[in-house]
Amino acid sequence: MQKFAPIREKLNPQTAARQIFGLIKREMALVEAEFERQASSNIQVINYLGDYLRASGGKRLRPALLLLSNLAVGGNASDESVIRLATVMEMLHTATLVHDDIIDNAVTRRNRVSVNARFGNQSAVLMGDWLYMSAFETSLRERSLEILDILTRLTRKMTEGELIQLTVLGRSDITENEYFDILQRKTAFLFSACCEIGAILGGAGPERQAALRDYGMNLGTAFQLADDVLDFTADEEILGKAAGADLLEGKLTLPLILLVAKIPEYAETLDRIIVEGSYESGSREELLRVLEEFGTIDETRERAYRYAAEARKNLAVLEKNEYCLALENVPDFMIDRNK
């Protein structure tokens, strides 16, 4: 197996993405085919909605993490069980996006009309539920109580995160602790589960399994922090949804939480924007200028880098093969994309 020097060369986002996904191109094609099969039904409306969701695309980062984690510990990512579980993780992720868009009244997702806006909330809720149940039905075929325990715990955490977020929606006094609790429940636990399940299917022992679980938590946290930065700095075409939408939905992300800590009186401006549901009381451009002036965009990005560094440290117990190196390189395209 190929060996690499311990010093890692930092890659630009495009190069990192090409190298990482190039390693698992064949396996990702199998996941896509399995997703199409799992999202199909003899009920016409489910078939139609499933096709619409799959056509929306996405990075497929979560199944990729499961495949890479599996290969990093010496597993066979082409194995049917690995492909099925990688598909399960993408189905769970898709289901959460469908339900999130309903809660947020979102009209776009990945540069397309969201399912709820296109087909109505009732159809979207039921399709999200169907995806959840299909994912669990597929996972039951593995007959692994350990994996089922991870998936049920994950689903509970994600639901708790959404409920907790509803209790702080519209509040400009949300604390960092509250923010990170929601972030980890809604985002990081899914990354962690993908990596841990990949390790389990690869026959990893407790130490390497725990290392990949922790890697996923740190990586997922870094991912969301980078996403919070992009919400202010990227254009809508790159985001695939309305820029600055988080604040309009009443969600204060870390750049804004840090800003309020530095300028408490700015909370009044944020409150007006939330109540109005628009940037009439303060343009998005003006808000971005203030965030950059007080350094909270850079501070948030720096926090993302720190979590990414911790994620890389978690990989120290793994053999330095090409798949481990790929996991080390994931933050290079994840954090720095279109910054």
Summarised one tens digit per residue, pLDDT across range 117-146 is 888 889 889 999 999 999 999 999 888 999
What are the backbone dihedrals phi and psi of residue 112, each rounded to the nearest 5 degrees, phi first? -130, 160
The whole-number pLDDT of residue 7 equals: 46
The number of residues in the chain equals: 339
Query: By C-alpha distance, which of 103, 151, 145 is closest to 128?
Result: 103
Strand partners, 112: 109
The whole-number pLDDT of residue 282 equals: 61
Q: What is the mean pLDDT of the chain?
A: 89
For the chain, domains (ranges, CATH) are: 13-222+315-334 (1.10.600.10)
Query: By C-alpha distance, which of 111, 254, 107 is closest to 176?
Result: 254
Report residue 284's pLDDT band, with 50, 70 and 90 as the boundaries.
confident
Report residue 242's pLDDT band, with 50, 70 and 90 as the boundaries.
low
pLDDT at 237 over 80: no
Summarised one tens digit per residue, pLDDT across range 155-175 is 999 999 999 999 999 999 999
Summarised one tens digit per residue, pLDDT across range 24-70 is 999 999 999 999 888 888 888 888 888 888 877 778 999 999 999 99
DSSP state letter for 45: H
- The pTM of the full predicted model, rounded to 2 decimals, is 0.91
Report residue 226's pLDDT band, with 50, 70 and 90 as the boundaries.
very high
